[in-house]
Amino acid sequence: MVKTYALVTGGSRGIGKAIAIKLAQSGYHILINYRSDHQAAQQTLNEIVENGGSAELIPFDVSVKEAVSSALGKWHEDNQDQYISILVNNGGIRKDALLVFMKDEEWKEVIDTNLNSFFYVTRELIKNMLLKKTGRIINIVSLSGIKGLPGQTNYSASKGGLIAATKALAQEVARKKVTVNAVAPGFIKSDMTADLDEKEHKKIIPMKRFGKPEEVADLVAFLASDQSAYITGQVISINGGLYT
């Protein structure tokens, strides 16, 4: 049986974990990327295998070009007859602060992890997608990248840049049957939102609740499937009607 390989960056926890599990349920072999939390990544792998799926761990720091190149280069050496046809650029961090108080490293780390990682990882994988004339690139962006949120100038800039990159790349590769789309979650229950006052934030959401990681994963799974073949260059919000 020929495997279809899907790489999920930041796939050990939260939205990334839900995406990895959902894609595994859809029959893909999952490459679970993570930076340092091996225990969480192993737990995600165990859940996938226990439910009949297949996966492997591929640790590297998405914000470091050399680390990306080394890890993915080794994977391709070990799997010379295979290629990764689905890429979910999910890895990301927040370091919130008002711009007037923001430190250089708070700006740089967020841009490196959320935006530059897209360039490093996608560049490594897209050549094979183009050669095989099939591929799905799904970038996890944010409401912050569309609307902008105070205290998140760095995060909004990184996600806004990723949205623009999504639209540009989609036009470059469409004729080779490679699609590039972005998913923009609002407030989703995860590690990224654990420090937020959910009770207060629910007041401004028309659906009066936070979303579930599994709901984001369902949308990603559709965009990864053959049924989405004519959808590209799009930014799809999943935010309970908060901002449309």
Residue whose token pair is 């939205």: 15
Q: Residue 232 is encoded by which pair of tokens?
A: 């590209």
Q: What is the pLDDT of residues 170-199, one digit of tens each?
A: 999 999 999 999 999 999 987 766 677 778
Q: What domains does the chain contain, in order, with CATH numbers?
A: 5-238 (3.40.50.720)
Q: What's the pLDDT at 240?
A: 94
Contacts of 156 (CB under 8 A, 6+ apart): 142, 144, 145, 148, 149
List the catalytic residue out of 5, 28, 120, 155. Answer: 155
Q: Give φ, ψ of 47 to 5 degrees.
A: -65, -40
Q: Which residues contact 50 (CB under 8 A, 6 or more apart)?
A: none
Q: Where are the beta strands (DSSP E) in 186-239?
A: 235-238
Q: Give dist(CA 113, CA 219) in Å, integer.
A: 23
Q: Count of residues for the chain?
A: 244
Q: What is the pLDDT of residues 121-132, one digit of tens each?
A: 999 999 999 999
DSSP assignment of 49-118 equals HHTT-EEEE----TT-HHHHHHHHHHHHHHTTT--EEEEEE-------B-GGG--HHHHHHHHIIIIIHH
At position 145, the amino acid (one-letter code) is G
**Residue-level pLDDT at 244:** 58
In this prediction, residue 206 carries a pLDDT of 92
Low-confidence stretches of the chain (pLDDT < 50) are none
155 flagged as catalytic: yes
